[in-house]
Structure 1
Amino acid sequence: MNTKYYLTEVDKNPQSIFCYHNLMGETFIEAHSHNKGQFLYTEGGVVHVKTSNRVYYLPARHYMWIPSGVRHAIYPSSPNVIMRNLYFPNASSTTRFYKKEGIYPVNNLLMELLLFTKNWNGDIVKSQKNKFAIAFAFKALLEQTVSKSLHLELPQATDGRLINIVNYLTEQIHKEHLLPILASKFSMTDKSLYRLFKKDLGMSFIKYYTQLRIFKSLEYLMNSDYNISEIANMVGYNSLPTFSNTFSKIMGKRPSEYRKSNEIYTDS
């Protein structure tokens, strides 16, 4: 199938459920949208999903629901990332869950059903009763098996000065950055930089910077070549306990627990 299937094939049959598995190796999927809602699951790394105003960090063993019409680009963090996609037509009685973007963990029931569909590619139509019934039930289960979306996203900067600063923080993530020194580097006062973060991103510098570091650490945790202490240093933490406590506060579990619970399924 054409690697640009998402531009040409997904919406060709408006009534079908469209399946596409094992997309890996692409470093970038250009900005696009679908008439169908998208279930995007990943393992083997972190996938960045960029919409017009946010950057989502989709970690392994989680999925993202992307509503129909939402323009998005996809950046896998490594060529080892496996993505599994199911696209669903809009129902006339679509509930709130399917109208908003969200990231959720995959439970065992969803995982078994997803792996059951792993050899399906292309359109699944109502006349394929067995396949369609399973895929249709899969969509219904999404809403019934979650509590709330995980906040694994950051707002995108729109102010030119802040875009440069955010890019700098990302590129120099291995260093610790303090607001006064950062402000001075970009010829600003502490107060003006603080206000710029609040105005453009709707959050404080410290909240944005902390989440950026933790989300970046997710990528390194998928790579077993690094131990937790090394990863802490790679995102600018000199203290392992501080990193571990901060990670736990944002992700709900310790880095070591997260790494263990996100080992790749071998049945892929």
Structure 2
Amino acid sequence: METSGHKVDKYYIKKVDADKKSIYCHHDLMGELLVPTHKHDKAQMLYAEGDVVFVTTETKSYFLPARHFIWIPSGIEHSIHPKSENVMMRNLYFPTDKDEDSFYKSEGIYPVNNLLLQMMLFTNQWNGDLKKGSPNFVIAKAIKAILPQICLTNLPLELPLPKDARLGKILRHIENNLGETILFADVAHEFGYSERSLYRLFQKDLSMSFIQYYTIRRILKAIELLLDRKLSVKEVAQEVGYSSVPTFSNTFFKMLGQRPSEYLSGEDILKKR
């Protein structure tokens, strides 16, 4: 894809499925701030470097931080919104095989370990179709094969999209006040609900509680702020409404498996070639 202002190569519509048996490879700077809703016959492994990418399916909004990848199964409609044009995207599109491991049938976000990182780095110069039987095809196939064995934790970096317009207003209120401590009782009162009825609305529409939604949203915002590299861990904690850094750090660790300080010190390894 070329930078914004130029005609963008819609490879994801025209080229990915052109050869049904190939593994299609595409590495590039994002260059545009929206890849509109589309789907492929092939499954997609999207690795992001440099900033956050928002991936939206029919039911969920996924939040893909740098140094993670999302697996999108075959036939799932999705749109891609990078936070900035500086996101480096590395895509491998795989044909589906019969009797595949259940791993490949579900959407999910996973951290990239050193082994996978080195394998992705090896694909750095590839672009376009990797023909079945070619050495590069075999290597890419190995990347796919290793995923169920090393990607054991599907990170909860997604939020369901509300169907109820009333709930949409409440979620926007949460979004706009992440720097404050938001109490469930106060939200219920402000929007004219009993706590019981609002609890039911969250469970019915989002299949999660207010506190689950609120916690995930705060940590997702924290990841964005950490990636901006402008604030300290303590300042990031305060920006998302945590007065206690240890509490923030523990919550962050439960979701991502690493501390905010570890995340902050990570480097963008896969730069533009």
Q: TM-score, normalised by structure 1?
A: 0.92
Sequence identity (%): 50
What displacement does 1:21 show?
Answer: 0.6
What displacement does 1:221 show?
Answer: 0.9
1:42 maps to amino acid? A
* 1:4 counterpart = 2:4: no
SS in 1 for 2:132: coil
What displacement does 1:188 show?
Answer: 2.2
Larger mean CA deviation between 67-76 and 136-145 belongs to 136-145
SS in 1 for 2:118: helix
| 8 Å CA contact 2:88, 2:271 repeated in 1 | no
SS in 1 for 2:89: strand
What displacement does 1:133 show?
Answer: 1.6
Q: Which residue of 2 aligns with 1:206?
A: 211
Larger mean CA deviation between 233-242 and 206-215 belongs to 233-242
Equivalent of residue 92 in structure 1, options 79, 98, 106: 98
* 1:192 counterpart = 2:197: yes
Q: Residues 49-198 of structure 1 correspond to what in structure 2 (within 5 A)? A: 49-126=55-132, 129-198=134-203
What displacement does 1:266 show?
Answer: 5.7
2:195 maps to amino acid? D
Q: Distance in 2 between matches of 1:96 and 1:106?
A: 19
Q: Alignment length, in residue pairs? A: 266
Q: Which runs of 4+ in 1 moved over 6 A?
A: none
Give ranges in structure 2 of 5+ residues lacking alignment: 2-7
Q: Distance in 2 between matches of 1:201 and 1:179?
A: 16
Q: Distance in 2 between matches of 1:39 and 1:76?
A: 16
2:222 maps to amino acid? S
SS in 1 for 2:243: coil
Q: Which residue of 2 aligns with 1:227?
A: 232
Q: Distance in 2 between matches of 1:222 and 1:46?
A: 8
Q: Distance in 1 between matches of 2:35 and 2:126?
A: 21
| 8 Å CA contact 1:77, 1:219 repeated in 2 | no
Q: Distance in 2 between matches of 1:103 and 1:177?
A: 27
Q: Distance in 1 between matches of 2:17 and 2:180?
A: 45
Q: Deviations over 1:175-233 (max 9, x none)?
A: 22111222232222222212111111111111110111011111111111111111112
Q: Distance in 2 between matches of 1:94 and 1:245?
A: 36
Q: Distance in 1 between matches of 2:203 and 2:246?
A: 29
Q: Distance in 2 between matches of 1:30 and 1:238?
A: 39
1:256 maps to amino acid? S
CA RMSD, Structure 1 to Structure 2 (Å) = 1.7
Q: Distance in 2 between matches of 1:3 and 1:235?
A: 38
Q: 1:80 to 1:171 in 2, by over 3 A?
A: farther
| 8 Å CA contact 2:121, 2:270 repeated in 1 | no
* 1:254 counterpart = 2:259: yes
What displacement does 1:3 show?
Answer: 3.1
What displacement does 1:267 show?
Answer: 4.8
Q: Distance in 2 between matches of 1:168 and 1:5?
A: 38
